[in-house]
Structure 1
Amino acid sequence: MSVPSYNPADPTDLVVEVPAAGADGVAAAVERARAAQPGWLGAGAAARSAALDRAADAIAGHAGELAELVLREVGKPLSEARGEVARTVAILRYYAQAPYAATGAVHETAAGAGLLFTKRRPHGVAGLVTPWNFPLAIPVWKLAPALAVGNTVVLKPAPEATACALRLAELLDLPADVLTVVPGGAVEGSALVAAADVVSFTGSTAVGGSVVRTSAERGVPVQAEMGGVNAAIVLPGADVEQAAAHLAYAIAGYAGQKCTATSRVIAVGDTYQPLREALGKALPAVESGPVISEAARDRLVGAIGSALAGGALAVTGCQVPDRAGWFIEPTLLEGVPQGHPLLGEEFFGPLAVLLPAADLDEAVALANGNRHSLSASVHTADLDAALAAADRLAAGMVRINAPSSGVDFHLPFGGSGAASYGAKEQGQAALEFYTASRTVSLLPAGTA
């Protein structure tokens, strides 16, 4: 069985086609990684740090090539593709320092002589299942901390990002079996989750739930990032033009194919009409790109059609351009009927709904009314209101006067409720997730 990957802007363009690893191939890759892991850990902090630094240099040296590949394989606009490559380099340089970090602490014994200390150690083989929308950055923000602390890695990328994952592994040029890419789909993902010693997943809610259950049954540490139905709140007194610019990018940048994209815009009080007008102008100007597949576009078109049939109105967008590729205009709807899937499900496209709220209390209640609370943004000139909203919103990340779609790679990343499960990603949180803490009591010989 093969794994093909096509250009979503030109579906006749086959980017790559490779054999699927199969369940047996995944199991073999995990066993090779497990055999290589003691040597990778035993090489020491300096060797792991140097390897990640060299990897960063390699990515930086091929930045133009990689940006073009991201553009071609997943349809990301070139400016965003270049930004993703730069972020990938920065992530590798950040985690290249992690091997030197303290792995534990020394404590006083409860009584008498001896040594009591904690020490964090790697789990073994990290199984990573990654999506297509950030085909370089997401694999790297998982694999870099895993490698830094001494795990080996088996990576199962989304089929739509196969070429990016294979080229990434080539450029990282790590020792044999320290990093292995296993192309494939559900069969390979399931096999990896069933064999790895620690699992990190980013993808859909349905698949993520299965990953969590399988890992829990095996007693394996797991983190699952399952997307968000993210809200933006615009309060009276906000700079409406600036807010509209931020929101337009958060709704339609890279065709809304980010788990932190804004899908619900909540206008408080008298901001509704001016914000509606500003977004109607700002959204069509966003460099959006295609969605990943025909099926993804059809789902968006169907959702828009059913909302309009139910009484919603189009502020802007809704049309499918007459061109090759899986494009759809950036779209904003108002008056979407209660209970419609657009208010509760992640559609992963350049599409948002505009909602009114009488005050901050109602706005927060609307934002928190969905359990997929990954990221939220608040737009206001009132510091008290900003702090109150940040304290009350359920989202794992709250951004004030900024798009919901920004991520700081050195800080914890993850949501609440159904958006995420397990430990946070990135920063110090990632280093802790990919290790287990041991408590060691060392007492003098002959102690009773």
Structure 2
Amino acid sequence: MSEFFERNFQVIEQRWPAVAQRLLLENAGELQADLVEGLGSTLSINGIQLTSRHDRLAEADLQAGSLPPDATAVHVYGTGLGDLQNRLLEQAEVEHLYVHILNGSVFALVLQLLDQSSWLADPRVEMLYAGDLAELQLPFFALPAELVLADDFNAKIRDRLISETHLAFNNREFDPRAPEIIERLQSTFGLVQRDRDVAELFGTLNGREVFVIATGPSLEQHFERLRGLNSQAERPLLICVDTAYRPLIIQGIRPDIVVSIDQRISARHLPPEDTGAIALVYLPMADPSVIEAWQGRRYAGYSASPVYHQMRQQLPRGELYVGGSVIHPAVDLAVRMGAEQVTLFGADFAFPHDKTHAGWGDGDLGPQLDASRHWVLDGHGQRVKTQLNFRSYLCELERFVAGHPQVRFYNSSRDGAMIVGTAFHPEFVR
């Protein structure tokens, strides 16, 4: 045990004994740690620099300089080398500084190598593991290196941090003033005007169970069971997302409702033949040729996006929740229709079994398996490949589930991402 560690640990043990005990269990010896030098120096963990190697303090000053002037309580995710914490504590307006550990082993290693006692002993500081809380706290700073190095326990908060950080960038495609958006909404205006209001479906279930079907690879495990529902007089209502429709039809499974929101969905995904008994729920950004060709009942709705603000004023329609993916309005529709129990199929948010989607080839729906550089924990507690936007969609679904405690949510597979707030369905989970 180094002199630094003893001094640092003594402060932690006195102030946060539970954190101290957890830090003793961390295995810092498994980390590949190297000193990296430039104009200055820093620590590299598993090939990731914790800070700048040229000027750590200037980097911390740059970060601290973006603190909102009225922020008295600040959250820092990641511990780094302590530079940002020290800089924030130099600002008189900061009354509370919450430090959320994203990788316990990294922090334990830093405690051995550098004196951190100054910021640790400051009475304004509180410390906890990021994963101890279900949601991220605002305003926050997130140390970029530790968003990469975050360990399994803290991965859910890491995903929320990255999703929040990317929010403005992701929303750039949905500018209501963009010519292509204006053109699309003009082309679907007449359809929305003629078609039914999605709100007509709200409250119509009378407690009937709903299966919401997405296109994750685990869906393929359930084709046979879902096909068997065709012969049942009383069966759950089947709501599927647009990309799941064709794989289901090929397997002889006919959903009751298809939900579509994406302007890139074409007749290839939603072939209109023999759809007379299947309802289509859509948002006006959908392709007008796909909507018009649909033979069954059609229901239009909106999301809360400002894209629909003007059309909503002219043509009032029901609203569905959208958090980036079509899975969100599909689940919200089930809840608004009155489902007391919702079971998710193919809601993987990941690439289990080295596949991207059920019923589609690698890259057919966009992402290719070889391009996946990220991970989530699956229902077995193991890391499984994914991509960044899938992790954001997962975060938003978990938030939706947490906001509807009156509904029982089940997941039909352990192979995809663990979805907080859901239980594994005893009939479908192997």
> Is TM > 0.5 for Structure 1 vs Structure 2?
no
Task: Pick the TM interval, shorter chain.
Answer: under 0.3
Q: Which has the higher contact order (CA 8 A, sep 6+)?
A: 1
What is the TM-score when the length of structure 1 is the normalising length? 0.27
Identify the structure with the greater strand proportion. Answer: 1
TM-score (norm 2): 0.28
**Over alpha carbons, which structure has the higher Rg?**
2
